[in-house]
Structure 1
């Protein structure tokens, strides 16, 4: 090689080496920069998660001391004494939660880990609802057509009692009833003075559960139930002592407190309760009703928009109903078909035991299908029991939760067997008595995540009714129609709730809408409408929640195609526990991005 060629070759080699070194150096610098950025991001997430955790752990510990209804840790046993509910305590709670919201404003949400963002969204919505309830002084209206503070107390007697201390604490609760009732009555008087009560028409007969206590012997009241069968580990002499203390507390404290409450309800509260039905007619009514929409639907939809959604969905369901009528060769119109369903004896149980046994059979049918649709099943089982007789006349057709599926056996001609499969799927499994335990059995989750969010919980239960068609639970066209009637029942709530509370509907108008569009009995229609009147917004959660789950599933099926696994989808929805609907939608987007792998398959 000539010298000039050699020099050019050397120069090219040197330039190549220099370029390689520069590229390598840049690559190393880029890797270092990425690593530094990743470390910084991880540090920011850890810091933001820690700040959020410090806020919610401190507040939750304080909240447990407040012993709010539906907020106590179920693992903590029976509490000694009843909660403080006086106005000063309520104001202090509101101030505490407003301070928590200010603290949450200081958390950089974008820096939180994926799980931290879910915790943040759930927790902030929860605290915001508590603040709103304090702002509108919801505690001045501690009853509705569905439930009341005095009847809710009897649920404590149905909890598991395991230790001597549980019984001693419960006796302390019984002795605390007069103080607790006085505070509730003082709040109700304040509400009465400003026109903030349930509508008078929804209170008729609701004093029956109070009168039942006043007229009973101490050992015959629900409050004595825990003492009828006590753990053998408690010595017999101590059992006798605890029973005597309970009987004395019921006789000298509980029954007289109920007698005073009964007089207040009959002589003062019910006669002066508001005659208006609409939530928007209450003090600051428009803002109050919108706050209930936000609380129960976890959306910011307006009443008019929800009303339109309801009408559109009802039209779709009516078309499905018409197809079933054609299948059974019914030649009349929908009103005639509904009358046929409401009156033909073949569709109704003859005894309460028959209704309960049919419910149990349907629940066992689900058990035979469960593993095809769910990868993780809850360890918790549930009992099927009748609604207590003193509450049954005003109670809904059924209700489920951890460990129990309540079936209303009152007025059997109003409890259609063709609707029982949909009711059972909703209240037992895979609905409430299935979903709630799955959520509660998740490990490493903050305690506040076990709180119930209606849009998610009721949306899932209503989705479970539709899922029954895929699972083969409905065996006749009439049972399919029963499911559709239940779908129409929930879709009609979007129309009726907003109609009553924002559009001036009358009670009779709401009843007629349900009678014309569902197969519900007259008794069910009347109790349901009174529930919607006295509990604004809650009825909106069901269908809007179902729509969110159904839309998320359709999106996942379209995106994943053959990779879509129904078990993985259901596991992903259920492992979240109760969350606001926007959180659910975001989680399914992530599910799609991860290729449709369920939470247990990926080790999450």
Structure 2
């Protein structure tokens, strides 16, 4: 990965302005811009063909029938050649002649190419399936008929039939990769394999409750029974047997060979891989030790605030006892049905929108919905946001897993909504996709530290939006914040310091009011996707640092609406680029 250091980026910006202001600079700037825009457009189109599932989620439906075998050696060689080609093309762009906005595009593409290319040296393709995300789960979402895959015409159905057929080849390739991983030490932890097996079993079931049969209930007009039979046959010939084969493989072959270590350090090149994943997810060069220390400091600070809230309620007892009280007391479990939970989230949306419009100048046009997470993945899922389509035909969706409505606590619902929905992920992703002044690469890009950092920052806006009036809801906000601080400690603990799953679990249970079931799901999530959990706090701390800096510098001239609009207008960018673009806007 190439990190754009602040001084280099600032110099490039100055040169760009100078180039534009000289007599012949306009033509030079146009030539540089045209060259870069051509590269950006061609790269995006090529990337969509290379990663057709991304294209479907981005609303680019020309590749809806493709499912590349992205874990094969041939595909990885194709990726490497693709990235190398565009890195060479970028070398021909005169960066000194670029406008500030085009320089952002250049830096975003350069970083993406380098970080993707660097990732190919590692062996994650030997562990292609886990319980949290990946093709085995995504295909089920797409095949449900309620996600990004269109099911409006006969052709739409035919395209997904092609994907289902390709999935059988993908499954065979996955098993071959995992067998190689078993020989070389690149295997999942046993505890994760145990969670994967029931997922495969459920998706292999031949009954109408299986999510893949759902589109048969909404066939378009004019489709005959013969076609419906062919669609059903495709499911039963290619999809169900593949999941069944994976289930048998995991149970009979893979589980006995799975590793007992919890962290990625347990695989042969785990230390180097984790260092790479930190750079990938945080867009920084922070070391594991630096991140661990920041986490411990934040945990201590937030615990202090938690003590204050606990005391304000009149509770008699220590903080662990308060955790137990907040987690289990019946007064916090007010729902009887999933619909009541969803309605409560809708009430939060209605309450905050007037104040949202006061501190955000730009409101997305993309529709928004709140849905219960599908049953086939709810047990291992967290609340999440799925992006809508740029043209507004598919809404942004806030998914809430509700295993038992009667056990669903209202504590923390407000901060959860601010993060996953409004003004968090829904605003950030939708405004980015709707901004057609950005090249497509940036309209549909994602940097974890920026995206998750911004969403976590949004949780801090609750009081400004009229929420957290109940001390228990504010305690829920602090619980969510400490949860993200704990992630810095336990993620590094497991992946770089040799912590066991049980050590990480104990640290989480000691420092936040969560159940052992939920904490286990979280810790196992970090085991499955090392480094991703570091992005939230890393990004949030940078955004808070920038807000506090400009509040102090500008005083009464500081506009929170302007700050938020600038924060979001250029889309998801690495933190170093974010810092420089905010500097250009507020330090003129």
Instruction: Work out which of the residue numbers 182, 199, 202 in structure 2 matches 1:209.
Output: 199
Query: Following the alignment from structure 2 to structure 1, what is the Cα–Cα distance between the partners of residues 383 and 431?
Result: 24
**1:267 Cα deviation (Å)?**
1.2
The answer to whether 1:100 aligns with 2:86 is yes
- Structure 1 184/71 Cα, relative in aligned 2: closer, same or farther at 3 Å? farther
The answer to whether 1:369 aligns with 2:358 is no
Partner SS state of residue 467, structure 1: coil
Query: Where does 1:104-503 land on structure 2 (aligned, <5 Å)?
Result: 104-157=90-143, 158-159=147-148, 160-217=150-207, 219-231=208-220, 235-236=221-222, 238-348=223-333, 349-402=335-388, 403-412=396-405, 415-449=408-442, 450-503=444-497
The answer to whether 1:561 aligns with 2:559 is no
- Structure 1 36/294 Cα, relative in aligned 2: closer, same or farther at 3 Å? closer
Query: Following the alignment from structure 2 to structure 1, what is the Cα–Cα distance between the partners of residues 110 and 52?
Result: 18
Query: Following the alignment from structure 2 to structure 1, what is the Cα–Cα distance between the partners of residues 52 and 495?
Result: 27
In structure 2, what is the equivalent of residue 75 of structure 1?
59
Query: Following the alignment from structure 2 to structure 1, what is the Cα–Cα distance between the partners of residues 189 and 53?
Result: 23
Query: Following the alignment from structure 2 to structure 1, what is the Cα–Cα distance between the partners of residues 195 and 263?
Result: 21
In structure 1, what is the equivalent of residue 13 of structure 2?
none
Between 1 and 2, higher relative CO (CA 8 Å, sep ≥ 6) is seen in: 2
Indicate conservation of the 8 Å contact 1:71/1:451, yes or no: no
- Structure 1 196/329 Cα, relative in aligned 2: closer, same or farther at 3 Å? same
- Structure 1 92/36 Cα, relative in aligned 2: closer, same or farther at 3 Å? closer
TM-score w.r.t. length of structure 1? 0.88
- Farther off after superposition, 292-301 or 273-282: 273-282
CA deviations on 1:427-477 (whole Å, 9 max, x unpaired) are 111111222111100013221111221111111111111111221212200
Indicate conservation of the 8 Å contact 1:459/1:544, yes or no: yes
In structure 2, what is the equivalent of residue 24 of structure 1?
none
**1:57 Cα deviation (Å)?**
2.5
Indicate conservation of the 8 Å contact 2:261/2:500, yes or no: no
CA RMSD, 1 decimal: 2.1
Indicate conservation of the 8 Å contact 1:384/1:405, yes or no: yes
Query: Following the alignment from structure 1 to structure 2, what is the Cα–Cα distance between the partners of residues 556 and 313?
Result: 22
Query: Following the alignment from structure 1 to structure 2, what is the Cα–Cα distance between the partners of residues 273 and 42?
Result: 61
- Farther off after superposition, 59-68 or 309-318: 59-68
Query: Where does 1:537-556 land on structure 2 (aligned, <5 Å)?
Result: 537-556=531-550
Indicate conservation of the 8 Å contact 2:449/2:536, yes or no: yes
The answer to whether 1:520 aligns with 2:514 is yes
In structure 2, what is the equivalent of residue 42 of structure 1?
26
Indicate conservation of the 8 Å contact 2:352/2:466, yes or no: no
Instruction: Work out which of the residue numbers 52, 61, 65 in structure 1 matches 2:45.
Output: 61
**1:345 Cα deviation (Å)?**
0.8
Q: Which runs of 5+ in 2 are unaligned?
A: 1-17, 389-395
- Structure 1 241/375 Cα, relative in aligned 2: closer, same or farther at 3 Å? farther
Query: Where does 1:568-583 land on structure 2 (aligned, <5 Å)?
Result: 568-583=562-577
- Farther off after superposition, 395-404 or 252-261: 395-404
Query: Following the alignment from structure 2 to structure 1, what is the Cα–Cα distance between the partners of residues 408 and 503?
Result: 23
- Structure 1 324/492 Cα, relative in aligned 2: closer, same or farther at 3 Å? same
Partner SS state of residue 146, structure 1: coil
The higher radius of gyration belongs to 1
- Farther off after superposition, 369-378 or 131-140: 131-140
Indicate conservation of the 8 Å contact 1:455/1:544, yes or no: yes
Partner SS state of residue 405, structure 1: strand
Indicate conservation of the 8 Å contact 2:203/2:376, yes or no: no
Query: Following the alignment from structure 2 to structure 1, what is the Cα–Cα distance between the partners of residues 20 and 132?
Result: 57
Indicate conservation of the 8 Å contact 2:302/2:478, yes or no: yes
**1:380 Cα deviation (Å)?**
1.2
**1:36 Cα deviation (Å)?**
9.6
Indicate conservation of the 8 Å contact 2:20/2:26, yes or no: no
Partner SS state of residue 23, structure 2: helix
**1:37 Cα deviation (Å)?**
6.0
The number of residues matched between the two structures is: 556
Indicate conservation of the 8 Å contact 2:50/2:68, yes or no: yes
Query: Following the alignment from structure 1 to structure 2, what is the Cα–Cα distance between the partners of residues 497 and 48?
Result: 42
**1:166 Cα deviation (Å)?**
1.5
In structure 2, what is the equivalent of residue 10 of structure 1?
none
CA deviations on 1:329-359 (whole Å, 9 max, x unpaired) are 2231111110111110111233322222212
Q: Which runs of 5+ in 1 are unaligned?
A: 1-33, 595-604
Query: Following the alignment from structure 2 to structure 1, what is the Cα–Cα distance between the partners of residues 92 and 20?
Result: 25
Query: Following the alignment from structure 2 to structure 1, what is the Cα–Cα distance between the partners of residues 123 and 34?
Result: 33
- Structure 1 202/412 Cα, relative in aligned 2: closer, same or farther at 3 Å? farther
- Structure 1 45/339 Cα, relative in aligned 2: closer, same or farther at 3 Å? same
